[in-house]
């Protein structure tokens, strides 16, 4: 029997964001946009969905006079991401 996959990770962009955030302490919006090649609007919508699920925390600050959005994965996000990876492995290791 296949393990159920978290539907939030079925979006390529959300999966990419989580893959980046799992390996860094935090990342700003511009960094995530550059690494994922996403549009600002699409990325904004997707990180909002991850935040609503409790998978990431978002902190809005200023860097000089410019606004800065920082994203950090939560413990819940780490757990969900690891469970997703284990579920994917179950599909491969039949």
Instruction: For the chain, give the mean pLDDT.
Output: 94
Q: Is the pLDDT of residue 59 over 70?
A: yes
**Within a 10 A sphere around the Cβ of 3, how many other Cβ atoms?**
13
pLDDT value, residue 84: 95
Domains along the chain?
7-92 (1.10.10.10)
> In terms of pLDDT, which residue wins out, 85 or 93?
85
Quote the CA–CA distance of 67 and 49 in Å, as a whole number: 21
Structure confidence by residue, pLDDT tens digits, 7-27? 999 999 999 999 999 999 999
Q: Per-residue b/e over 41-59, b at no fewer than 16 CB within 10 Å? A: eebeebbeebeebebbeee
Residue 94 has pLDDT above 90, yes or no: no
Query: Is 90 or 8 the better-scoring residue by pLDDT?
Result: 8
Q: Is the separation of the CB atoms in 29 and 71 below 8 Å?
A: yes
**For the chain, what percent of residues have pLDDT higher than 90?**
82
Question: Crossing angle of helices 29-36/12-21, nearest 10°?
Answer: 120
Q: Which two tokens stand for residue 63?
A: 């860097």
């Amino acid at each position: 029997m296949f393990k159920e996959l978290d539907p939030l990770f079925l979006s390529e962009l959300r999966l990419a964001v989580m893959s980046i955030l799992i390996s860094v302490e935090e990342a700003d919006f511009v960094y995530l946009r550059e690494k994922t090649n996403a549009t600002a609007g699409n990325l904004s919508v997707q990180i909002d969905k991850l935040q609503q699920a409790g998978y990431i925390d978002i902190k809005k600050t200023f860097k000089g006079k410019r606004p800065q959005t920082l994203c950090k994965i939560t413990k819940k996000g780490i757990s969900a991401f690891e469970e997703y990876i284990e579920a994917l492995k179950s599909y491969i290791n039949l």
